[in-house]
Copies of this chain bind each other. A is one copy, B any other.
Amino acid sequence: MDGRGKLLKSKQQADVFGRVRKAHQTEVAEDYVELIADLIAAQGEARAADLAARLGVSHATVTNTVQRLIGAGLVESRPYRSIFLTDAGKRLARVVRERHLIVRDFLVVIGVDAETAENDAEGIEHHVSKETLEAFVRMLRKSTSEG
């Protein structure tokens, strides 16, 4: 016999893994713009030191990444000054923040405690397709109308 298990076709599986790798490439950018937007909303400005403390990385790492995000057109900053989002950065931040909240609230609705939901949402958010996000929203609405 050949084929004791049911494997996907090779190319199809390669596409799956490729999608995950692509999601990871945009992940850092998404987390940065979301955090920058949150800091500006809560404190009026986003400083590199705040980002470093909240991301749990060194300030040198933040400097490097911010340079890359400037190159990507998401962020603006002048030397020794705080960090701003471009229009593209603001748009991305809005989408990412919305998605983050949906994923987190969805986890709470299915019975995960708030802190764990926050933890898991931070990673899961980057791997949720439009379609899966819509399924999450349906569950959220159902729970609200039942609640």
A residues neighboring B (CB under 8 Å): 2-8, 10-11, 13-21, 23-24, 31, 38-39, 41-43, 50, 53-57, 107, 110-113, 116-120, 122-124, 126-129, 131-132, 135-136, 138-139
Contact of A56 among B14, B38, B111, B124 (CB under 8 A): B14
Taking a contact as CB atoms under 8 Å apart, the answer to whether A14 and B55 are in contact is: yes
Q: Which chain B positions have C-beta within 8 A of A107?
A: 132, 135
* Closest chain B CB from A64 CB (angstroms): 15
New contact pairs (8) apart from A24-B24, A107-B135, A111-B135, CB-CB < 8 Å? A10-B53, A11-B53, A17-B31, A17-B57, A23-B123, A110-B135, A112-B132, A124-B124
Q: How far is the CA of A4 from the CA of B39 in the complex (A)?
A: 10
Contact of A55 among B17, B118, B127, B129 (CB under 8 A): B17
Q: Which chain B positions have C-beta within 8 A of A55?
A: 13-14, 17
Given the known inter-chain contacts A14-B56, A55-B17, please indicate yes or no for A7 contacting B138, CB distance below 8 A: no
Given the known inter-chain contacts A31-B17, A55-B14, please indicate yes or no for A124 contacting B128, CB distance below 8 A: yes
Taking a contact as CB atoms under 8 Å apart, the answer to whether A38 and B5 are in contact is: yes
Q: Which chain B positions have C-beta within 8 A of A14?
A: 53-56
- CB nearest to A110 among chain B residues: B135
